[in-house]
């Protein structure tokens, strides 16, 4: 159990410290492996179990009818032999010795016998000393003595005898049947008849075996008693060994032709015969082979389906996971960015506040100097001093502009919310810049959504936003180029305005800092670096958002989102 748990926990352990693509690869591999294991293992197990279960069940199902067939055939043979035996027995019992000893009588009986029962070849009477007394049949055996022969001794002991098959009259295979009769007064005689075994072949033919199968009788010495299709003629020695067990049984072996065969046999009860049925394995197990192929196909299709589905599923899962990870990362980055901007903003505001007081002192001191010089009736180098002080006061003024802009004081104080048509605001703002655009040879393309809903916002602040963006766009183009402005509805909460130029664009590095105060790419003294920072502040205050995309040498696109609902935190 422990190693299993280890493997499982290893598979479920998703590394957090790896680089992203490798991490996804490992997760994907682990999940796929796990899913494959828990699906393929039971499937394989089921298949293997079914394989063996079916094999056993089907084998029994196939072999049972073979056994039954063999037994049935054996009984037919025994019935046939028993019938002939009882007929001979009847003749021995029904007639007296004298009647049987008379050749004329015996011939008459033989004729009736041949008419009623097929297969009888001859009939004869033998006395207790073994001498042939009378005979009806093709040979002249009168006076022949059988004393000392095996079959004669057996019939004296058992009362009946059925011989093995032998080639007799006209070279046909025959079987001899002998019955001993003992009268009440102790007189004894033996009636012996020969029957040909054509009937045996009929019985085997009536089994309707398929061409690949074989059935025959052999005796206990392994000599064929009937003709075999594959293994030999009558009285040949059989090449197939049989176990010396009287229980009917099925054995599997290779025959002399090299085929795998099922051999079913049954020993006769009252004679030396053994009935044997041989079927080639391939024939018998045909149903099993079909089933096995079906099983294999189902297994393989299932396996392929599982693998395909598992891999697809894992792919989809990984894609989703990656997407949500990316989204999360992006959201985190954006949050970080806005955090950074707001802390920079707070820092700048703090500095601006603190600088204002000393600036005020410098301003007043310099002002006082200026006053004193101006009020004095005579002052050496008066003009020179006045210009020096003037420069101080001008510099203070410049600082004041910066701190006041930083603190957002250059604008009207209150956010003044009114219902606005954003398109109108854009057109109005464009009016301020048309001349400059014309002068620079910049084309302005307007693509305004006329179905834009009117929204509550601050006209002046929005104008400042658009003015800033348009100014930047103009500044980004040396000569010629185009500015495209479009408005659209983003979703049920926001509408958007895109300001796009074909100017010089910005690098990744510049983009990162673009909304930070004092960040500027202009030459020192030409820009305060506050424009976009203030723009950002205004848009945030209005409850909106701003995005920027840019590529060096291709242009820049600002997208401003304005909420459709009145911003609740306006003015704070």
Partner 1 sequence: MKEFKVLMVDDEEDFVRTLDERIQMRNLDTSVALSGEEAMKKLEEDPPDVLLVDLKMPGMDGMEVLRRAREAYPGVQVVMLTGHGSEADEVEARRLGVFEYLRKPVALDQLMRTLKAAYKKKLEETMVAASFAEEGDFDSAREIMKGHDKNK
CB of 367 to partner 1, least distance (A): 5
Phi, psi for residue 79 in degrees, rounded to 5? -65, -45
Helix or strand run (H / E) with residue 350: helix 286-375
Provide the pairing of β-strand 120-127 with 188-196. Answer: antiparallel
CB of 29 to partner 1, least distance (A): 57
Give whichever of 39 and 401 is closer to partner 1, judged by the CB atom: 401
| Helical spans, DSSP H, in 476-530 | 508-513
Distance CA 117, CA 47 (A): 58
CB of 371 to partner 1, least distance (A): 5
Q: Which of residues 463-492 bind partner 1 (CB under 8 A)?
A: none
Q: Does 356 bind partner 1 (CB under 8 A)?
A: yes
Q: Does 347 bind partner 1 (CB under 8 A)?
A: no
Binding piece for partner 1, criterion CB under 8 A, among 84-92, 212-220, 225-233, 366-374 = 366-374
Burial of 352 per CB tally in 10 Å (0-12, 13-18, 19+) = buried
Q: Does 377 bind partner 1 (CB under 8 A)?
A: no
Q: Which of 23, 322, 400, 440 binds partner 1 (CB under 8 A)?
A: 400
Q: Which of 32, 85, 178, 359 binds partner 1 (CB under 8 A)?
A: 359
CB of 320 to partner 1, least distance (A): 46
CB of 465 to partner 1, least distance (A): 17
Provide the pairing of β-strand 249-254 with 417-420. Answer: unpaired
Binding piece for partner 1, criterion CB under 8 A, among 84-92, 302-310, 403-411, 452-460 = 403-411
Q: What is the DSSP letter of 198?
A: H
Reported for 125-131, long-range contacts at CB under 8 A and 24+ positions apart, including other chains, are 125/97, 125/100, 125/101, 125/189, 125/190, 125/191, 125/192, 126/152, 126/178, 126/189, 126/190, 126/191, 126/192, 127/189, 127/190, 128/188, 128/189, 128/190
Q: Does 294 bind partner 1 (CB under 8 A)?
A: no
CB of 365 to partner 1, least distance (A): 6
Token match 């057109």: residue? 427
Q: Does 330 bind partner 1 (CB under 8 A)?
A: no
Q: Which of 408, 496, 503, 505 binds partner 1 (CB under 8 A)?
A: 408
Provide the pairing of β-strand 417-420 with 443-447. Answer: unpaired
Q: What is the DSSP letter of 567?
A: P
Q: Which of 193, 396, 477, 538 binds partner 1 (CB under 8 A)?
A: 396
Give whichever of 356 and 521 is closer to partner 1, judged by the CB atom: 356
Q: Does 373 bind partner 1 (CB under 8 A)?
A: no
Q: Please choose, from the candidates 155, 538, 109, the residue with its C-alpha nearest in 3D space to the C-alpha of residue 345.
A: 538
Q: Does 517 bind partner 1 (CB under 8 A)?
A: no
Q: Which of 357, 377, 378, 451 binds partner 1 (CB under 8 A)?
A: 357
> For partner 1, how many residues bind (rule: CB under 8 A)?
26
Distance CA 353, CA 571 (A): 19
Number of C-beta neighbours around residue 459 at 10 A: 17
Q: Does 371 bind partner 1 (CB under 8 A)?
A: yes
Q: Please choose, from the candidates 21, 35, 47, 556, the residue with its C-alpha nearest in 3D space to the C-alpha of residue 295.
A: 47
The helix/strand/coil state of 508 is: helix
Q: Does 365 bind partner 1 (CB under 8 A)?
A: yes
| Helical spans, DSSP H, in 261-285 | 281-284
Contact 567, 542 (CB under 8 A): yes
Q: Which of 65, 390, 480, 571 binds partner 1 (CB under 8 A)?
A: 571
Binding piece for partner 1, criterion CB under 8 A, among 97-105, 268-276, 399-407, 528-536 = 399-407
Contact 275, 67 (CB under 8 A): no
Q: Which of 413, 439, 492, 523 binds partner 1 (CB under 8 A)?
A: 413
Q: Does 414 bind partner 1 (CB under 8 A)?
A: yes
Distance CA 204, CA 213 (A): 11
Give whichever of 320 and 346 is closer to partner 1, judged by the CB atom: 346
Q: Does 409 bind partner 1 (CB under 8 A)?
A: yes
Binding piece for partner 1, criterion CB under 8 A, among 65-73, 83-91, 391-399, 529-537 = 391-399
Q: Does 416 bind partner 1 (CB under 8 A)?
A: no
Distance CA 571, CA 172 (A): 129
Question: What count of Cα atoms within 13 Å lies in the side-chain half-sphere of residue 359?
Answer: 18
Q: Does 257 bind partner 1 (CB under 8 A)?
A: no
CB of 518 to partner 1, least distance (A): 20
Contact 221, 238 (CB under 8 A): no
Q: Which of 34, 36, 362, 482 binds partner 1 (CB under 8 A)?
A: 362
Q: Does 364 bind partner 1 (CB under 8 A)?
A: yes
Q: Does 367 bind partner 1 (CB under 8 A)?
A: yes
Q: Does 382 bind partner 1 (CB under 8 A)?
A: no
Q: Does 368 bind partner 1 (CB under 8 A)?
A: yes
Distance CA 571, CA 558 (A): 24
Contact positions vs partner 1 (CB under 8 A): 353, 356-357, 359-365, 367-368, 371, 375, 396-397, 399-400, 404, 407-409, 413-414, 571-572
């Amino acid at each position: 159990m422990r190693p299993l748990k280890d493997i499982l926990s290893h598979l479920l352990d998703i590394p957090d410290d790896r680089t992203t693509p490798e991490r996804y690869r490992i997760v994907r591999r682990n999940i796929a492996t796990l899913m494959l294991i828990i699906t393929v293992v039971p499937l394989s197990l089921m298949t293997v179990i079914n394989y063996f279960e079916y094999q056993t069940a089907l084998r029994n199902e196939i072999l049972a009818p073979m056994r039954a067939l063999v037994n049935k055939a054996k009984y037919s043979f025994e019935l046939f032999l028993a019938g002939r035996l009882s007929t001979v027995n009847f003749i021995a019992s029904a007639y007296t010795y004298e009647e049987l000893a008379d050749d004329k009588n015996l011939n008459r009986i033989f004729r009736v016998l041949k008419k009623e029962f097929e297969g009888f070849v001859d009939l004869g009477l033998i006395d207790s000393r073994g001498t042939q007394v009378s005979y009806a049949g093709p040979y002249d055996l009168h006076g022949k003595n059988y004393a000392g022969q095996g079959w004669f001794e057996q019939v004296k002991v058992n009362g009946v005898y059925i011989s093995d098959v032998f080639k007799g009259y006209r070279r046909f295979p025959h079987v001899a049947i002998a019955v001993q009769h003992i009268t009440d007064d102790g007189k004894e005689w033996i009636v012996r008849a020969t029957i040909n075994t054509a009937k045996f072949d009929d019985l085997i033919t009536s089994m309707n075996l398929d061409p690949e199968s074989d059935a025959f009788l052999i005796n206990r010495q392994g000599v064929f008693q009937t003709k075999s299709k594959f293994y030999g003629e009558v009285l040949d020695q059989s090449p197939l060994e049989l176990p010396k067990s009287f229980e009917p049984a099925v054995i599997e072996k290779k025959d002399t032709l090299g085929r795998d065969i099922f051999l079913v046999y049954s020993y006769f009860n009252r004679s030396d015969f053994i009935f044997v049925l041989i079927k080639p394995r391939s024939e018998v197990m045909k149903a099993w082979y079909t089933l096995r192929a079906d099983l294999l196909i189902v297994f393989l299709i299932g396996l392929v389906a599982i693998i395909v589905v598992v891999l697809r599923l894992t792919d989809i899962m990984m894609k989703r996971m990656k997407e949500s990870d990316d989204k999360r990362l992006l959201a985190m980055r954006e949050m970080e960015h806005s955090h950074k901007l707001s802390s920079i903003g707070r820092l700048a505001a703090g500095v601006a506040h603190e600088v204002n007081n000393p600036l005020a002192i410098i301003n007043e001191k310099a002002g006082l100097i200026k006053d004193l010089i101006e009020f004095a009736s005579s002052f050496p180098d008066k003009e020179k001093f006045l210009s020096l002080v003037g420069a101080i006061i001008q510099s203070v003024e410049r600082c004041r502009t910066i701190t006041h802009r930083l603190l957002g004081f250059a604008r009207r104080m209150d956010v003044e919310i009114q219902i606005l048509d954003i398109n109108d605001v854009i057109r109005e703002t464009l009016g301020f810049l048309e001349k400059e655009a014309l002068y620079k040879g910049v084309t302005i393309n307007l693509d305004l959504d006329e179905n834009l809903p009117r929204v509550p916002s601050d006209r002046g602040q929005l104008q400042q936003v658009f003015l800033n963006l348009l100014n930047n766009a103009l500044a980004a183009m040396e000569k010629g180029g185009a500015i495209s402005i479009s408005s659209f509805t983003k979703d049920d909460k926001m509408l958007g305005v895109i300001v796009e130029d074909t100017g010089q664009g910005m690098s990744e590095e510049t983009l990162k800092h673009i909304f930070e105060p004092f960040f500027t790419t202009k030459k020192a003294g030409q820009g305060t670096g506050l424009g976009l920072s203030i723009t950002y502040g205004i848009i945030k205050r209005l409850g909106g958002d701003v995005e920027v995309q840019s590529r060096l040498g291709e242009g820049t696109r600002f997208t401003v989102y304005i909420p459709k609902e009145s911003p609740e935190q306006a003015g704070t």
